[in-house]
Amino acid sequence: MANNEMEAAIENTGKAQTTSAKTAGEVVIRLEHLKKSFGSKEVLKDINMELREGENLVVLGRSGTGKSVAIKCMVGMLAQDEGICNVFGQEVKTLSENDLKSLREKIGFLFQSGALYDSMTVRDNLAFPLTRVRKMKDNDEINTLVEEMLENVGLLDAIDKMPADLSGGMRKRIGLARTLIMKPQIMLYDEPTTGLDPITSKEISELILTMRKKYKTSSIIITHDIACAKITADRILVMNDGIFIAEGACNELEHSDDELVRSFFK
Amino acid sequence: MEQIKSPSWSKTFEEVGNQVSFMSGFIRNIFRTGFEWNELVRQCYMIGYNSFKLVGITGFILGFVMTLQSIPTMKVFGAVSFVPGMVSVSVIREIGPVIIALLCAGKVASGIGAELGSMKVTEQIDAMEVSGANPVQYLVVTRIIACTLMVPLLSVMADGLAICGGYFGSNISGHVTAVLYFNKAFHALAFGDLLPSVIKSVFFGFAIGFVGCYKGYNSNGGTESVGVAANSAVVSASLWIIVLDAVAVQLTSIFVYN
Ligand SMILES: Nc1ncnc2c1ncn2[C@@H]1O[C@H](COP(=O)(O)OP(=O)(O)OP(=O)(O)O)[C@@H](O)[C@H]1O
Ligand SMILES: [Mg+2]
């Protein structure tokens, strides 16, 4: 009974979200001439991109080109020096503390390292955003949600384990579950498959697709893993040295004129 | 000259500014809705109960050793009967709170610094923030308040055990009845001794929690910065304790003993 009500509520919010994003012209994230330096080091030089609703956008680029910095600007963890960073029609840099908090509730961020809270069990890790952000009080309701989400990532057995007892791939998947449990409208994946074996990588890539189908999220996926990009991407952007040098579908970029772009696909 | 000096000055001001804003973040988050009571209790347990043995043994031995050390000297003046009072006054007024606070700086501040430091380095704090939760409220407020509550309790407990240690010490060098000993010990004390000492400990506890959290929360870089955070938490907390003690002694001598 309570479950049905909740599902209905989630569906309703889902609908409301879809319509509000549509009125914003279906562009959920827009970066224009974004620049960011650390000291004298210019990391982002001129970043322009758009993320559309329901789209999986893959960002490729060598290590240290500023991919992580770019998505950190989108959630207000870093502030750009110049340019526009617009999420759901709001300029992130100028948001007040409360507005930023409610914006962040709509965005899921999967960290490169998984970033599980290592003093808590897997269950508490997943329950943390529910109790602290959604302010849910009912333990049964929380448990059902946690179990459902763990089942989605195929790790229901690990529910009472500590993060230290999990393998790297399991941690990534738990991290993914913890992010998705908030039913975000935008997912930002920072190298979801790096450091995993090809089979686990493939599982995670397919999980990303499944989750999009299930929760209708728009995603930015940062990766070096071309196999992951091929599975998940609707569109690929290639970043080098603080700017995007190429854009297109996977098979277009594979036969690009640019040596550097082609080299990613070898 | 100018060139060498200016960066270090601006660094100092930047550091002070960061501490002030960290402090204001702490204060704002105390009064925010959704106070983490469970986490506060857990931290009190971790900080208080886990330091209980260390602090207890130290307190007991402190009183014991002071008694044994002072009896021969006092004997020369035929003033052995003043030993219980002397020990209780010096432990409660000064030595107890300071030594216990320094111990807690070593045990608690380094622990907090290392824990928050490693959470920061492994992006756990960022993850909390990005999910829309409030890491300051969950991690910092609870730890600082727990330290502020627990350090005074621990030092009152250590003071009590020090007096017991003193009784034990005077029984080694000659028989004294418990009633006589404790009578002498407490007779020398006034309320004006205990209260300033507890207030002092509250500030020591706050300094320990604040410095530990600040250093941990603001560590950045690789794993080595966790060690740096723990280390500098102990150093600055100890320094703060000594400085606060000097101020407290001045204030009590003006307001209490006059
Ligand atoms: N907080 C920071 N302070 C100073 N420099 C930073 C900071 N964050 C990132 N940088 C610098 O910005 C550059 C880009 O970093 P970023 O983490 O975005 O790389 P990346 O493209 O994500 O690489 P990788 O694929 O290895 O994760 C690096 O040279 C890094 O040194
Ligand atoms: Mg990165």
Residues B154, B37, B113: CA angle, nearest 5 degrees: 55
> For position A14, what pLDDT does the model report?
42
**In this structure, are residues A122 and B121 in contact, taking their beta carbons and an 8 Å threshold?**
no
Q: What is the mean pLDDT of residues B138-163?
A: 96
Give the nearest partner residue to A132 out of B119, B123, B133, using CB atoms. Answer: B133
Give pLDDT tens digits for B152-211.
999 999 999 999 999 999 998 787 888 888 998 888 888 778 899 999 999 999 999 999
> For position B173, what pLDDT does the model report?
79
To test the pocket of ligand 1, the residue of A67, A109, A225, A226 to mutate (highest count of ligand atoms within 8 Å of its CB) is A67
Q: Is the pLDDT of residue B1 over 60?
A: no
Q: How far apart are the first and last CA of chain B?
A: 48
Domain boundaries, chain A: 3-12+19-106+185-263, 118-183
Low-confidence ranges of chain A (pLDDT < 70): 1-25
> For position A114, what pLDDT does the model report?
83
The pLDDT mean for chain B works out to 91
Q: Is A55 left (phi over 0), alpha (psi -120 to 50) or beta?
A: beta
Give pLDDT tens digits for B26-84.
999 999 888 889 999 999 999 999 999 999 999 999 999 999 999 999 989 988 888 89
Nearest-angstrom CA–CA distance, A211 and B122: 26
pTM: 0.86
In three-state form (DSSP H/G/I as H, E/B as E, the rest C), the secondary structure along chain A is: CHHHHHHHHHHHHHHHHHHHHHHCCCEEEEEEEEEEEECCEEEEEEEEEEEECCCEEEEEECCCCCHHHHHHHHCCCCCCCEEEEEECCEEHHHCCHHHHHHHHHCEEEECCCCCCCCCCCHHHHHHHHHHHCCCCCCHHHHHHHHHHHHHHCCCHHHHHCCHHHCCHHHHHHHHHHHHHCCCCCEEEEECCCCCCCHHHHHHHHHHHHHHHHHHCCEEEEEECCHHHHHHHCCEEEEEECCEEEEEECHHHHHCCCCHHHHHHCC
Q: What is the mean pLDDT of residues B236-244?
A: 96
Q: What is the mean pLDDT of residues B7-28?
A: 90
* Residues of chain B above pLDDT 90, percent: 70
**In this structure, are residues A181 and A149 in contact, taking their beta carbons and an 8 Å threshold?**
yes
Nearest CA to ligand 1 atom 31: A64
Nearest-angstrom CA–CA distance, B210 and B140: 8
- Residues of B in Cβ contact (< 8 Å) with A101: 132
Burial class (CB in 10 A: 0-12, 13-18, 19+), B136: buried
Alpha-carbon distances of B255 from B156, B187, B246, rounded to whole Å: 22, 22, 15
Q: Cα of A167 to ligand 1 centre, how many Å?
A: 25
- DSSP 8-state assignment for residue B108: I
Tell me whether residues A109 and B134 touch, CB distance under 8 A.
no
Nearest-angstrom CA–CA distance, A103 and A93: 12
Sign of CA dihedral B32, B33, B39, B43: positive
- Residues of B in Cβ contact (< 8 Å) with A107: 130
Chain A nearest-CA distance from B15, in A, is 18
Nearest CA in chain B to A100: B132
ipTM of this model? 0.81
CATH of domain A3-12+19-106+185-263: 3.40.50.300
Chain B nearest-CA distance from A246, in A, is 29
Q: Phi/psi at B191 (nearest 5 deg)?
A: -60, -35
Pocket-forming residues, ligand 1, beta carbon under 6 Å: A 38, 43, 61, 63-69, 112
Sign of CA dihedral A52, A54, A55, A59: positive
Nearest-angstrom CA–CA distance, B44 and B39: 9
Dihedral angle, C-alpha A242, A248, A254, A258, nearest 10 °: -50
Tokens 């602090």 found at: B55
Lowest mean pLDDT among A23-37, B228-242, B243-257: A23-37
**In this structure, are residues B189 and B88 in contact, taking their beta carbons and an 8 Å threshold?**
yes
Pairing of strands A218-223, A186-190: parallel
Chain A nearest-CA distance from B134, in A, is 8
* Residues of chain B above pLDDT 70, percent: 97
Q: Cα of A11 to ligand 2 centre, how many Å?
A: 34
